[in-house]
Amino acid sequence: MTRTDVQLREKVGGCVYEALLQVCSGSSQGETERKHLYGDSFASLSCPNKNISSAGGKPQDIEIRIALSLFHRWRRTSPGSAVTITSDLGLHREIKSPRDFAKVVCVPLEEACRKQNVAHNVQFQPSGVICIVTNERAQVLRQAGKLPCPYCVQWCKGKSMYWQASVSFLLLTVRS
């Protein structure tokens, strides 16, 4: 890994930890659990694209699997199919899937990533995987004529493909 990759992972891991503290630190009791959240924040990061200067491959250059791992860990220890989390302000939320948890985490994560000047595009997949397209990667994709879909993590080639992807996503959402 290059120095910039390490710095990026440190920034994003810190942003993930900050978002988790906002969303579920009221559920974490004790310093030990917070240390686990900190370690999990960094362990859940992966970089699917080795070469971000190419427009090929996945559009996102960082994938975060924290929603999947924490949801399933907490679900094993709590009765029922849902997990209740408590925010740092005392707000209780019932989480029924990794997707629900990723949706909750994305809001403070996107804000933290903007503050760190890492990315403006933070979205999640239906599986619960959170995807980040860094500013540098977004510039490469735009120069290749790709546009981000506002509803999913895909970047489409040209305006007509962008429109078709948006309509397809809306139709799938309405049907389900």
**Same domain flag for 127 and 62:** yes
**Same domain flag for 77 and 115:** yes
pLDDT for position 165:
52
**Same domain flag for 71 and 25:** yes
**Same domain flag for 90 and 149:** no
Domain range for 174 = 145-176
Alpha-carbon distance of 58 to 25, in angstroms, equals: 32
Alpha-carbon distance of 55 to 69, in angstroms, equals: 30
Q: How many CB atoms lie within 10 A of CB 68?
A: 19
20-23: Cβ within 8 A, 24+ apart: 20/66, 20/70, 20/105, 21/88, 22/87, 22/88, 22/108, 23/85, 23/87, 23/104, 23/105, 23/108
Give me the number of domains the chain comprises: 2
Residues 6+ positions from 172 with CB-CB distance below 8 Å? none
**Same domain flag for 36 and 111:** yes
pLDDT for position 87:
85
Alpha-carbon distance of 132 to 138, in angstroms, equals: 10
Backbone angles phi, psi at 29, to 5 degrees: -110, 115
**Same domain flag for 150 and 100:** no
Q: Which two tokens stand for residue 160?
A: 């007509």
Tell me which residue of 127, 122, 134, 155 sits closest to 67, measured CA to CA.
127
**Same domain flag for 127 and 175:** no
Q: Which two tokens stand for residue 24?
A: 């579920």
Tell me which residue of 136, 147, 157 sits closest to 49, measured CA to CA.
136
Low-confidence ranges of the chain (pLDDT < 50): 162
User: Model-level pTM?
Assistant: 0.83
pLDDT for position 162:
47
